[in-house]
Structure 1
Amino acid sequence: MAPSTSKGQYLHGPKTLVLEERPLSVPGADEVQIAIRSTTLCGSDVHYYTYHRNGSIQVKEPLCGGHEAAGEIIAVGSNIAGLQIGDHVAIESGVACSNCKKCSKGQYNVCPDLRFRSSGASFPHFQGTLQEYVNHPAAWCHKLPSSLSFNDGALLEPLSVCIHAVRKAKMQKGDTCLVFGAGAVGLLSAAVAKIEFGSKVVIADIDPGRIDFAIREGFADVGFCVTPERGQNIEEKFALARAVATEIGKREWSTGEPVGKFEVVLECTGVESCVQASIYAADSGGKVVLIGMGTATQTWPISELTGREIDIVSVWRYAHCYPRAVEIMESMASKGLAPDARKIVTHRFSGLDSIPEAYATAAKTKDEESKLVIKTVVNL
């Protein structure tokens, strides 16, 4: 018998979670009902938890977080073909209208009517996956091969973000790549650049522990630890950014050759100083891909862009990336493809009652035992 309620943790204010039991309808004709098994926490989840907002998006009603998720189908609607009870699926959390001009062009990630789980952008909010059960359109569910666990399925969402970013960069085989930010998205972006294009990768971060992890686990070839400095005016800020790019360029590949400038820079922090350094670090005719969501209003050295014909490439989530993400993850699980994205899950929590601790841990770079925190997962 299908459940008629679903318990979940709902955010009522900054760091204020309430365990609620809400009514659950039977799945619609084109929906499946999913028992959530794994949700990995995203940076946006942590921002909502910490500030009750994400950038300019303010939470307007109690919000259940979580959108990187996988689970087991426990009921199906009357029009479902290709999926059945017992199937393990990854949830593509963005549901587009499928009828507008953007959707018809394949750009459903920028559909004006898109609803995204755990986001406060649409109202009523499309509630997230840190709950027992959800009804979700079957068209936005991806069946998992037997070699992939629920945790693997949850990681397909951030992996898809990175696949989309690298595709938009129009990278070519052998392009050198600089990644700013060695968190989950930075590590996965580096992995995709290596797997898809054989790139040599430099990764930069302010946390030496994350850099060491990236090098040790094969996500990057060279690491660079950024010392945070704050310029007092725009000239000082640009000078500091230029100096960071210059120092990164002096680092050496394993061949002893200086890394120089980069065909592609994947900026995964959203921090203004990192975006500025990315522009200086890019080679002439290169690309800077903006993946991280950070400072909303920034000042960039435009003459550096125009004088060296550097392209700024913006990305928003992903479109048509889950099938490739499944292939990559399956190769990691069954064929030993490296670097292994699954290694970024450093902390695991079990049960609805563990969700507050999972959030608190995800907001840190090290746990109480000084162990590195990269990605947390909640298993239900």
Structure 2
Amino acid sequence: MSDTLTNGVSTLTVAPGATLNGKTSQKAAVCYGATDLRVEDRPIPVPGDGEAQIQVAVTGLCGSDLHYYSHGANGTFKILSPMVLGHESCGIVTALGPNLPPTCTLKVGDRVAMEVGLYCKTCRFCKVGRYNLCSQMRFKSSAKTFPHLDGTLSEVMTQPVDLLHKLPSTLELPLAALAEPLSVVLHAFRRAHLAPGARVLVLGAGAVGLLACTLARASGCTTVVAVDIEQGKLDFAKEMDWATEIFALPKGPRVSGLDAVAAAQNNWAALKADAAVQNVEGLEDGFDAVFECTGVEVCMQMAVMAALPGSKVMFVGMGTPNLTLPTGPSFLREVDLIGVFRYANTYPDALALLGSGKLGDVGKMVTHRYPLENAAEAFEDLKRGRDKEGRTIIKPMVGNLELR
């Protein structure tokens, strides 16, 4: 390992076969198929042109990771070769490669969050700043493209420096992993164009739904109603004052088509009849904006029904590829149905928000922490929704729990 100078920045160049922190290899959590996750040895990667080497701190597990772990696929995207999972991550720069762009200000030791979608930079969408729609996008830990790009559930990884974002000094390193799900929510809010005082419905109280609630509150929304099937998550949202009101839907088998429409109508009627909701004036006509964060067909239909005439529905959770939506009534009421796919140009603002304290104590969303060697346990707990002691899991983090 030798010191060099690149663009006036002190760097460390790691030669192939060299050690890092005294180690010659690293651990990575590799998914081979459904419920087949193996923590195995991998070579320590060397940063190439325009890249940095990162010592990974933690990775937050999300729904897409769980789909790959549980089914070996996420929708139609099937794992065709072993793939490292994870994409909500942060870490510390340990080396910089050659030929860095002149704009790079990174140095060894910087704490960074990793934006793991690699886009082409030349297509029409990239040129206008909507790179989340890039047709050539390759996303780490996604099986959409082949060969797959490994994700962040490893000890060390490399990443283009222009997709690394320095952390504010006020932000703890593990919490920076929340910048990825917060980016999704921030992108949705930018598309919603909410006015202060808006009344918002959030369907789904997982990590993304909770972040939608707290961002709505921080943005001046006076009413934020959270809906889920898990009472524990709803109680947490209320306890944190991220939701002004909560409502638990009944659990039941998933249905689709007209059966789902009927269930959605019943759910919307039950929500309107709830005593707490009835205390909010005007909600019988619907909400100023609805953030659908589940991807479940019944909830997606309920979202349309619960929207006020002239308002917007943000489809953040997209787990149902083909579904029946009550589009006729929505068109007659001029309800805008808006899709949300990942994010673009959000990371700096997401990190600033996390470091500002304006979102409240979002660190309490991280309910469970696991060392990398216990990644399979983390996935099994997330799959159940509770740990072995019966405690509700909201956002599990996996990785080096000592890095700060």
- TM-score, with structure 2 as normaliser: 0.88
In the TM superposition, what are the counterparts of 1:170-249 in structure 2 within 5 Å?
170-228=193-251, 234-249=257-272
2:370 to 330, 349, 355: 349
Task: Please give the secondary structure, in 2, of the residue aligned with 1:156.
Answer: helix
CA distance in 1, matches of 2:254, 2:67: 26
Letter in 2 for 1:309: E
User: Cα–Cα, structure 1 residues 235 and 131, in superposed 2: closer, same or farther, change >3 Å?
Assistant: closer
Which has the higher mean CA deviation after the structures are superposed, 225-234 or 110-119?
225-234
2:10 matched to which residue of 1?
A: none
CA contact (8 A) 2:257 2:323 kept: no
User: Cα–Cα, structure 1 residues 176 and 25, in superposed 2: closer, same or farther, change >3 Å?
Assistant: same
CA contact (8 A) 1:182 1:211 kept: yes
Letter in 2 for 1:88: R
1:121 matched to which residue of 2?
A: 144
In the TM superposition, what are the counterparts of 1:41-120 in structure 2 within 5 Å?
41-80=61-100, 81-120=104-143
CA distance in 2, matches of 1:233, 1:19: 38
CA distance in 2, matches of 1:106, 1:366: 39
Q: Deviations over 1:38-72 (max 9, x none)?
A: 11111111110010000110011001001000001
CA contact (8 A) 2:258 2:324 kept: no
CA distance in 1, matches of 2:256, 2:367: 39
User: Cα–Cα, structure 1 residues 150 and 233, in superposed 2: closer, same or farther, change >3 Å?
Assistant: closer
> In the TM superposition, what is the alpha-carbon distance from 1:25 to its structure 2 partner?
4.1
1:371 matched to which residue of 2?
A: 391
Which has the higher mean CA deviation after the structures are superposed, 228-237 or 80-89?
228-237
Any gaps of 5 or more consecutive residues in structure 1? none
2:57 to 34, 37, 42: 37
Say whether 1:284 aligns with 2:309.
Answer: yes
1:23 matched to which residue of 2?
A: 43
CA distance in 2, matches of 1:212, 1:369: 18
CA contact (8 A) 2:45 2:156 kept: no
> In the TM superposition, what is the alpha-carbon distance from 1:235 to its structure 2 partner?
4.6
> In the TM superposition, what is the alpha-carbon distance from 1:346 to its structure 2 partner?
0.3
> In the TM superposition, what is the alpha-carbon distance from 1:146 to its structure 2 partner?
2.3
> In the TM superposition, what is the alpha-carbon distance from 1:236 to its structure 2 partner?
4.7
Say whether 1:142 aligns with 2:165.
Answer: yes
User: Cα–Cα, structure 1 residues 190 and 142, in superposed 2: closer, same or farther, change >3 Å?
Assistant: same
1:296 matched to which residue of 2?
A: 321
Which has the higher mean CA deviation after the structures are superposed, 195-204 or 312-321?
195-204
> In the TM superposition, what is the alpha-carbon distance from 1:366 to its structure 2 partner?
1.6
1:322 to 347, 359, 362: 347
Q: Deviations over 1:150-197 (max 9, x none)?
A: 211111111111100111112111111101101111101111122124
Task: Please give the secondary structure, in 1, of the residue aligned with 2:238.
Answer: helix
Which has the higher mean CA deviation after the structures are superposed, 245-254 or 108-117?
245-254
CA distance in 2, matches of 1:138, 1:113: 19
Letter in 1 for 2:134: C
CA contact (8 A) 1:178 1:265 kept: yes
CA distance in 2, matches of 1:235, 1:92: 39
Any gaps of 5 or more consecutive residues in structure 2? 2-13, 15-19
User: Cα–Cα, structure 1 residues 233 and 298, in superposed 2: closer, same or farther, change >3 Å?
Assistant: closer
User: Cα–Cα, structure 1 residues 199 and 95, in superposed 2: closer, same or farther, change >3 Å?
Assistant: farther
CA contact (8 A) 1:218 1:338 kept: no
CA contact (8 A) 2:198 2:288 kept: yes
CA distance in 2, matches of 1:345, 1:232: 31
CA distance in 2, matches of 1:108, 1:368: 41
Letter in 2 for 1:343: K
CA distance in 1, matches of 2:141, 2:245: 35
2:156 matched to which residue of 1?
A: 133
Percent identical pairs in the alignment equals 39
CA distance in 1, matches of 2:255, 2:228: 22
Which has the higher mean CA deviation after the structures are superposed, 285-294 or 188-197?
188-197
Letter in 1 for 2:118: V
> In the TM superposition, what is the alpha-carbon distance from 1:258 to its structure 2 partner?
5.9
CA distance in 1, matches of 2:328, 2:27: 54
CA distance in 2, matches of 1:231, 1:19: 33
Say whether 1:339 aligns with 2:360.
Answer: yes
Letter in 2 for 1:14: A
- RMSD value, Cα: 1.9
Letter in 2 for 1:292: G
> In the TM superposition, what is the alpha-carbon distance from 1:254 to its structure 2 partner?
9.8
- TM-score, with structure 1 as normaliser: 0.94
CA contact (8 A) 1:205 1:224 kept: yes
2:337 matched to which residue of 1?
A: 312
CA distance in 2, matches of 1:235, 1:142: 46
Q: Deviations over 1:96-134 (max 9, x none)?
A: 111111100101011111111111111111101111111
